[in-house]
Amino acid sequence: MPGPFLKDRYFIGLHISWWLLGLWLCGGIEYALALTYSDATFPPLSTSLVFFLSVAGLLAIVHFMVRRNAKSRQRFFARLPGLVFRIDEFGKIEFASDQGLNWAGASITDSLRNQIFDHEALMNLRRAAIEAKGEIQTTEMTVKTNHGEQRWVRIQMRALPPITPDCQIDCIIWDITELVEERNRRQESEERLKILETLSNEAIFLHDGGKCIDTNNAAERMFGYDRSELLLLSAADIISSETLPLVMANIRSGYDKPYEAIAVCKDGSKFPCEINGRNVVVQGQTLRLTSFTNISDRKFTEEQIRFQANHDALTSLPNRYLFMDRLNFAIKLSKRRRECFALMFIDIDEFKSLNDTGGHSTGDKALDEIAKRLTGTLRNVDTVARIGGDEFTIILPGTETPEDAELVARKLQTALSGSAIEFGDDLSPYTVTASIGIALYPDHGETVDELIAAADDAMYAAKKSGRNTFRFATNNRSRTE
């Protein structure tokens, strides 16, 4: 560290020069000039002496003020929490604050320059400050203190005027290790969130009362909008009109359980979704965080399971369970409306022989074709069901008279036997005939069991009478072909 003499060398040099000049002016100049100009006149000696002493005093006052200002500056720097130091023209540290030295575990005389900063680093700081021409420059770097700690620091530096290659550089170092660690943790967290956001299939919206504030990449993929477009949308733009009231009510009430709705894409297509939302506080403002999950596949699977539970696997016709449910509904509806309907039981004639001859695959092909012919003959409101083997049932709503039922039975016979079923070169064509039993509600029964028993008995009566015919259930309104 430079001594007091070196620090004040410019003022000391100036004082010495002035004193020498003063001695010469106040003494030797009169004698020297008198030898040359005998008639020359000069100011009195007292006047020269007063001028000389005044200027010397002024220089002393300026020197004193500069020194006091420098000490005040050092005391101020010493109290700062950071390390304050000055770099001279040779890349050496000529001043450093006490607190900063304590933090670094060094003294200005031993290892501050050699261990915390090397000469090249100090010269780089000098060059950067000089190039900035008096502007404050900031940089971040790592240093290793004498305590063995690796710390992140922020260095602010400024060249002191006049800006010359040999000017001094003031620097202050702030320990920002915790700040950098927190920044790194936040950056890592944001990177993880971005990865999760990229991989997530859930569309996530942060919104205020349904007005979008922020969203993720999955929302772009799910709804077909760009991010900039999504930020301009509200719930009414992406929720179908039929489920929008439910969604808005849940937003207003803060409902936090999953529920289902219908979402609308940019192209107008719709898909079922599961919505899960909850209120969150962001910077003192209560917002709502909502996730959308496309449940189209789940709905399709549920429909498949439901369909398979209620339909025949071979023909896709309603099975016995769905048939019973629809028969119950037909009875209740007809009772409320005071209407009639017909129930038919159909048994395919000689079907066992076809199975024995051609095998079950041939029989399955025949059953599938029979199902198509039955459904192709009837109305959409009618129900055709396969309740087992080669047995089919038909519910005909609005069939008021036996004549109406008879007309349908004849159409079914024509459809079934009108053309033979072809199986290929190995087997002969199969001509379908069927025995049909017919029961009318409420004439032949008012309950499910009564109607089924009546139609079943009528079907067996048709078989006994020679097959390929139909019979009504036995009572005063029954009739035969």
pLDDT range class, residue 222, cuts 50, 70, 90: very high
pLDDT range class, residue 478, cuts 50, 70, 90: very low
Helix (H, G, I), strand (E, B) or coil at 16: helix
- What's the rounded mean pLDDT across residues 408-433? 88
Please give the Cα distance from 125 to 137 (Å, whole number).
9
- Residue 459 DSSP one-character state: H
Residue 2's pLDDT is 46
**Single pTM value for the model:** 0.54
> Same CATH topology for 81-181 and 311-472?
no
Query: Could you tell me the two tokens for 248?
Result: 């808005």
Pick 119 or 34 by higher pLDDT: 119
- The CATH homologous superfamily to which domain 311-472 belongs is Reverse transcriptase/Diguanylate cyclase domain (3.30.70.270)
Query: Could you tell me the two tokens for 155?
Result: 């260095």
Domain boundaries, the chain: 4-73, 81-181, 200-298, 311-472
- What's the rounded mean pLDDT across residues 53-65? 71
Please give the Cα distance from 459 to 374 (Å, whole number).
17
Query: CA 219 → CA 112, 147, 229, 377, distances in Å?
Result: 55, 51, 11, 48
Pick 360 or 226 by higher pLDDT: 226
pLDDT range class, residue 240, cuts 50, 70, 90: very high
Whether 305 has a pLDDT exceeding 50, the answer reads: yes
Please tell me the least confidently modeled range out of 192-201, 384-393, 443-452.
192-201
Evaluate whether the domain defined by 200-298 bears CATH number 3.20.20.140.
Answer: no
Assess contact for 98 and 81: CB atoms under 8 A: no
Please tell me the least confidently modeled range out of 18-22, 45-49, 339-343, 454-458.
45-49
323-366, pLDDT tens digit by residue?
999 999 999 999 999 999 999 999 999 888 888 888 888 889 99
425-460, pLDDT tens digit by residue?
677 888 899 999 999 999 999 999 999 999 999 999
In three-state form (DSSP H/G/I as H, E/B as E, the rest C), the secondary structure along 299-348 is HHHHHHHHHHHHECCCCCCECHHHHHHHHHHHHHHHHHHCCCEEEEEEEE
Residues of the chain with pLDDT > 90, as a percent, come to 42
Whether 137 has a pLDDT exceeding 90, the answer reads: no
Residue 354's pLDDT is 86
Query: Could you tell me the two tokens for 228?
Result: 């900039």
- What's the rounded mean pLDDT across residues 59-67? 71
pLDDT range class, residue 265, cuts 50, 70, 90: very high
Whether 480 has a pLDDT exceeding 50, the answer reads: no
Pick the CATH number of 81-181 from 3.40.50.10780, 3.10.450.50, 3.30.70.580, 3.30.450.20: 3.30.450.20
Residue 444's pLDDT is 92
Angle formed at CA 107 by CA 101 and CA 108, multiple of 5 degrees: 100
